[in-house]
Amino acid sequence: MMVEKKQMLYEGKAKRVYQTDNPDYYWVEYKDDATAFDGKKKGTIKEKGYYNNQISAIMFDFLKDKGIDSHYIELKGDREMLVKALEIIPVEVIARNIAAGSLAKRLGMEEGTELSKPVLEFCYKSDELGDPMINDYHIDALGLATVEQMKEIKKQAWEINKLMVDHFKDLGIILVDFKLEFGLHHDKVLLGDEISPDTCRFWDAETKEKLDKDRFRRDLGKVEDAYQEILNRLKGDVS
Identify the domain boundary among 87, 122, 157: 87
Taking the C-alpha atoms of residue 30 and residue 13, their distance in angstroms, rounded to an integer, is 10
pLDDT > 70: what percent of the chain?
99
The pLDDT of residue 187 is above 70: yes
70-127 tens-digit pLDDT: 999 999 999 999 999 999 999 999 999 999 999 999 999 999 999 999 999 999 999 8
The pLDDT of residue 230 is above 70: yes
Q: Which CATH number belongs to the domain containing residue 29 in this structure? A: 3.30.200.20
Average pLDDT, the chain: 96
Confidence of residue 5 (pLDDT cuts 50, 70, 90): very high
Helix (H, G, I), strand (E, B) or coil at 209: coil
- 129 and 198, same structural domain? yes
Which residues span the domain enclosing 200? 88-222
Asked if the structure places residue 54 within a domain, the reply is: yes
- 158 and 139, same structural domain? yes
State CA 88 to chain mean position distance.
14
- 106 and 197, same structural domain? yes
Type of residue at 213: K
Asked if the structure places residue 239 within a domain, the reply is: no
The pLDDT of residue 180 is above 90: yes
pTM as predicted = 0.95
**Which one, of 89, 93, 100, lies nearest residue 190 by Cα?**
89
Q: Which CATH number belongs to the domain containing residue 113 in this structure? A: 3.30.470.20
Identify the domain boundary among 87, 104, 120: 87
- 108 and 38, same structural domain? no
Type of residue at 83: V
- 104 and 76, same structural domain? no
- 134 and 22, same structural domain? no
- 109 and 217, same structural domain? yes
Q: Write the DSSP symbol of residue 78.
A: S
User: In this structure, what are the phi and psi dihedrals at residue 25, rounded to the nearest 5 degrees?
Assistant: -130, 145
Asked if the structure places residue 157 within a domain, the reply is: yes
What residues contact residue 116 under an 8 Å CB cut-off, 6+ apart?
none
- 59 and 92, same structural domain? no
pLDDT at res. 238: 58
pLDDT at res. 215: 97
* CB 178, CB 95: distance < 8 Å: yes
* CB 112, CB 99: distance < 8 Å: yes
